[in-house]
Structure 1
Amino acid sequence: MAHCRHVSAAIDSMDTVLARMRALDATLPARDGVAVFNRVYLTVTEAVDRDIDTGRFPDARTASTLDVRFAERYLGAVDAVDDGRRPPACWRPLFQFRRHPQVRPPQFALAGINAHIGHDLALAVLDTCRTLDCEPGDLEDEFDRVGEILVSLEERVREELMPGPDLLRIADPLTHLLNSWCLERARDGAWVAARTLWAMRRLPGMAGEITERLDEAVGFAGRMLLTPLPG
């Protein structure tokens, strides 16, 4: 399979991305909803960085560019809030509910994952194609490999943030919420959205409307994931 034609110098900013995430981890209160998501995402980004360094991606430069463009979407939302601007609709629920005492840590984590995978990933594919002058199909190997690592986000949430089996009953509302969302389906949807938006890039009005609707739909799902729960 063909890979992207690199028309510019290597994008060497994974270190910057990791530094930003580590700074957030060090400064945000541990219970803050954004901090909960950031800790999970930081761990996965470190894993992607290690895999790039050890040659586990078919095209390391393409993988690095995709990961940086992807992370920039999240960090851009953080910057928007810090600057008093509105973040994309997909991120607003997490920032609005980040200190709610009846929203549990797994909800914060999955709401961030929902925003980042459901909305940001598709746009990061487009950003990468523009940066490297290539087609979405040229990124498929790297997208799939990153996707495999991203699945560990959901696994990590369940392993580290969920209550023990003696506390988590089938009737627990948290069980219902977490079982209503699937990362693999979101990832597959992001790939379809990226290819669709790329195909429509010469129709900017329609592509913009689709992007806006995607943002709103993902934001609605995030709001449902952040439903305050008793005790």
Structure 2
Amino acid sequence: MPQLEQFIPPVTPPVDTAAAPALDATVHGVLARMRALDAALPHHDGVAVFNRVYLAVTQEIDGWIDTGGFTDPEAARTLDARFAERYLTAVDAAVADRRPPACWRPLFQMRRHPGVRPLQFALAGINAHIGHDLALAVVDACRSLGCEPAELEDEYDRVGDVLVALEEHIREELMPGPDLLQIADPLTHLLGSWSLERARDATWTAARALWALRGLPDVAQEFTDRLDTAVGFAGRMLLTPL
């Protein structure tokens, strides 16, 4: 069976948040990486399904930034870039045969399973990225900008609004069958147990907790590890073969 590295273009190193390049270049850089993945991965690959979704999200957010949709464009670009870097770092780890975070492992492990539907792949990736990566990205952005999480709340909420709108579109586009048949489809019942809005609210709480724990690195690491494990468990449930 083909290996992941056969479908993924050469890896560029993750951006060092301590010495990041110009923010516009960083956002454009992660968009270029996702477009390269979209061109290289087989269409039905589970990682490809999520990558298409996330590429659309990032392009939408980038468009909002360029047209003045955020009150603080610099903060929005920083949060957007730090967020995307977490996903791309997980891809880099898989390519290099390193273990990605637990939240991402179900998607990489199940990405070619014939019993998993495209909508499950999309939402499992969203679950990993929102439930784990976004909290860490808020902390990364606060460190880069020298601010508190409360100063990023407006940008966080606007990014969340884009994600919720796109999740609704994704469900409509990838949900199989006529509406009358969806009630009996086990996919309907499986996905009804997960909510992006609830995940977004929980992530904001986690981000604030991690920021408050930044002076206690051992405790912060334990909190992060437990969060990673819990989100990975939810991802495995979302990828239950049907």
1:157 deviates by 1.6
1:168 deviates by 3.6
Partner of 1:11: 23
Match of 2:193 among 180, 193, 200: 180
Partner of 2:93: 80
Contact 2:176 2:182 in 1 (8 A): no
Partner of 1:142: 155
Q: Which letter does structure 2 place at the counterpart of 1:137?
A: A
**TM-score, length basis structure 2:** 0.89
Q: Does the residue aligned with 1:31 lie in a helix, a strand or coil?
A: coil
Alignment of 1:123 with 2:118, yes or no, is no
Name the Cα RMSD after superposition: 1.4
- Aligned length, in residue pairs: 223
Q: Which letter does structure 2 place at the counterpart of 1:90?
A: C
Q: Which letter does structure 2 place at the counterpart of 1:164?
A: G
Gaps of 5+ in 2: 1-18
Partner of 1:62: 75
Once residues 44 and 136 of structure 1 are traced to their aligned partners in structure 2, the CA distance between those partners, rounded to angstroms, is 22
Once residues 165 and 38 of structure 2 are traced to their aligned partners in structure 1, the CA distance between those partners, rounded to angstroms, is 19
Once residues 53 and 101 of structure 2 are traced to their aligned partners in structure 1, the CA distance between those partners, rounded to angstroms, is 21
Q: Residue 95 and residue 11 in structure 1: after superposition, are their counterparts in 2 closer, same or farther (change >3 A)?
A: same
**TM-score, length basis structure 1:** 0.93
1:8 deviates by 8.4
* Aligned pairs (5 A) from 1:1-231: 10-12=22-24, 13-166=26-179, 168-229=181-242
Question: Percentage identity across aligned positions?
Answer: 74
CA-to-aligned-CA distance 1:39-90 (integer Å, 9 cap, x gap):
0111111000000000110000100000000000000000100011110000
Q: Which letter does structure 2 place at the counterpart of 1:185?
A: R
Q: Which letter does structure 1 place at the counterpart of 2:156?
A: F
1:167 deviates by 6.8
Q: Residue 101 and residue 191 in structure 1: after superposition, are their counterparts in 2 closer, same or farther (change >3 A)?
A: same
Q: Which letter does structure 2 place at the counterpart of 1:169?
A: Q
Q: Residue 31 and residue 203 in structure 1: after superposition, are their counterparts in 2 closer, same or farther (change >3 A)?
A: same
Once residues 206 and 86 of structure 2 are traced to their aligned partners in structure 1, the CA distance between those partners, rounded to angstroms, is 16
1:10 deviates by 4.5
Q: Which letter does structure 1 place at the counterpart of 2:127?
A: N
Q: Does the residue aligned with 2:182 lie in a helix, a strand or coil?
A: coil
Bigger RCO (CA 8 Å, 6+ sep): 1
CA-to-aligned-CA distance 1:171-190 (integer Å, 9 cap, x gap):
21100111110000000111
